[in-house]
Structure 1
């Protein structure tokens, strides 16, 4: 495991302390789970962005192929 030093806003820290106290969970475990969750969320967002980009590229190529077929008279 790696040790990390970080600065947390006072309000966020206070809220976190209240939550982990009620959950009876160690602060370290809570922060690890929060970072893990955020990492998975960001990976999902990156994949979504890539899929949108790829979809747009495929759409453009599909439209080009469709136009070519229409120009050849295969639209019947």
Structure 2
């Protein structure tokens, strides 16, 4: 496990401390879970962006292939 030092805005720290009392969870565990959750969100956003980009790249080719199949069907 790595040790990290960070500065947290006073308002965020205060909110976190209030939540921790109710959650009965250590600050360390809470911050680890928060970062893990945020990483998953960002990874999902990155993946969606990549998929959209790649879909756009093959979109025109896909339409052309569909047109060719349609032309072959109507040629018979």
Q: TM-score, normalising length from structure 2? A: 0.84
Q: Which runs of 5+ in 2 are unaligned?
A: none
Q: CA–CA distance in 2 between the matches of 1:66 and 1:31?
A: 50
Q: Which consecutive segments of 4 or more residues in structure 1 shift more than 3 A? A: 64-67
Deviations along 1:31-62, one digit per CA (max 9) or x if unpaired, are 00000000111111111001101111111211
Q: What TM-score do the two structures reach when normalised by structure 1?
A: 0.84
The aligned counterpart of 2:9 is: 9
Name stretches of at least 5 consecutive residues in structure 1 with no aligned partner: none
Measured in 2, the distance between the counterparts of 1:66 and 1:26 equals 57
State the distance in 2 between where 1:58 and 1:32 align: 39
Q: Whole-Å Cα distance in 2 between the matches of residues 41 and 19 of structure 1?
A: 21
Kindly provide the CA deviation profile for residues 1-54 of structure 1, in whole angstroms up to 9, marking residues without a partner as x: 111010100000000000011111000000000000001111111110011011
Aligned pairs, number: 73
Q: CA RMSD in A?
A: 1.6
